[in-house]
Amino acid sequence: MEIIKQKHSPLKRLLHKWQSKRNIPFRRKFFVGYDLHGNTYWEFTIDGNLSRLRRKLEPYAPQVFKVDYFKTIPPQWLQWLRRTRNEPPSLNELVGDQIRQRNLKILGKRADEKWKNEKLRLEQEEQLQDDLKRIELGKSSQREPLQKEDDDIPKTVEEENPWKQADETRDSNPIQAATIKPRN
């Protein structure tokens, strides 16, 4: 409630409380609630039919383009405006959702750090494995002739690539190599 106290004066809040009463005759506009940005939400009728009231938002700070108001509208109030939610959200619910979003951001940062650390650990492990292989190859080359050392070295990427081999065996121009069979 302190957030609303910062945005709206006590007189304005008292006026909103009075405007939220629905038992006053001939009233066509009813105050529903606030969001954390200070926007106010209303239900109103044009023709006097109180069975299906229209819903609207009155922004706290006017902006040039009405599209810019959607940055400040929480999802819970959007649901209420679009009638996918019957009851308007409370300020406690909005604050709880804001805390949940903040916690999710913190957990996301922790997960990113965890995966970065895991990646570094795996890279260090690979480097250690490569160093061990070099050491073993160095020891084995001292004992055995050089021809066996060449057999232990893995082939390069170009030699192992089957697609490159398939491309070399094809004709250079597929349009010239294609034949068209005449119809009977």
What is the tens place of the pLDDT at every residue in 56-80?
998 888 777 777 777 888 999 999 9
Average pLDDT of the chain?
82
pTM above 0.75, yes or no: no
Question: Could you give the CA distance from residue 56 to residue 92 in angstroms, rounded to a whole number?
Answer: 21
Res 151 pLDDT > 60: no
Res 150 pLDDT > 60: no
Rounded to 10 degrees, the C-alpha dihedral 148/150/153/158 comes to: -150
> Among 64, 66, 14, 8, which residue's Cα sits nearest to residue 36?
8
Question: Could you give the CA distance from residue 56 to residue 51 in angstroms, rounded to a whole number?
Answer: 16
pLDDT band for position 6 (50/70/90)?
confident
What is the reported pLDDT for 137? 85
The whole-number average pLDDT for the span 33-42 is 91
Query: Between these two residues, 89 and 2, which has the higher pLDDT value?
Result: 89
pLDDT digits (tens, 9 = 90+) for 103-135: 999 999 999 999 999 999 999 999 999 999 888
Query: Between these two residues, 6 and 159, which has the higher pLDDT value?
Result: 6
Rounded to 10 degrees, the C-alpha dihedral 114/115/118/123 comes to: -140
Question: Could you give the CA distance from residue 20 to residue 76 in angstroms, rounded to a whole number?
Answer: 19
